[in-house]
Amino acid sequence: MTLAQETETIMLDEPTTYLDLAYQLEVLEILQRLNKEKNTTVVIVLHEINNAFKFAHNIVGLKKGKIVCQGKPSDVITKEALREIYGIEADLKPSETGDYPICVEYELNKEQV
């Protein structure tokens, strides 16, 4: 229904929750196409961080309502930012193209638990 309205801006809260991986990608690719082809602004709350890193032009990392990081994922997603936001120790690697980071493994930061 949201897509049929053809609005200039789409705001979505966790649109890929409960979807398997293929459907998650399908939804995000449709939104990406709308952004590119129709210049639709897409604002998404997304906790699946690797999808957020892959599809976002601009990412805002929040902790208790305060901005921890903001900008292009490859510029602002760091181990330190993920530690502050989620309380995890993350292993980040660049994507194959180098366009965005990928969190390949993580564990709880024992000092913050």
- Locus of tokens 């892959």: 54
Across the range 75-97, mean pLDDT stands at 97
User: Is residue 113 very low, low, confident or very high in pLDDT (cuts 50, 70, 90)?
Assistant: low
For 29-38, how does the pLDDT look when each residue is reduced to its tens digit (9 = 90+)? 999 999 999 9
User: Is residue 25 very low, low, confident or very high in pLDDT (cuts 50, 70, 90)?
Assistant: very high
**The residue count for the chain:** 113
Question: Whole-angstrom Cα distance, residue 23 to residue 29?
Answer: 10
Q: Which of 74, 80, 79 is nearest to 97 (CA)?
A: 74
Is it the case that residue 3 has pLDDT exceeding 80? no
Q: Which of 62, 30, 26 is nearest to 47 (CA)?
A: 62
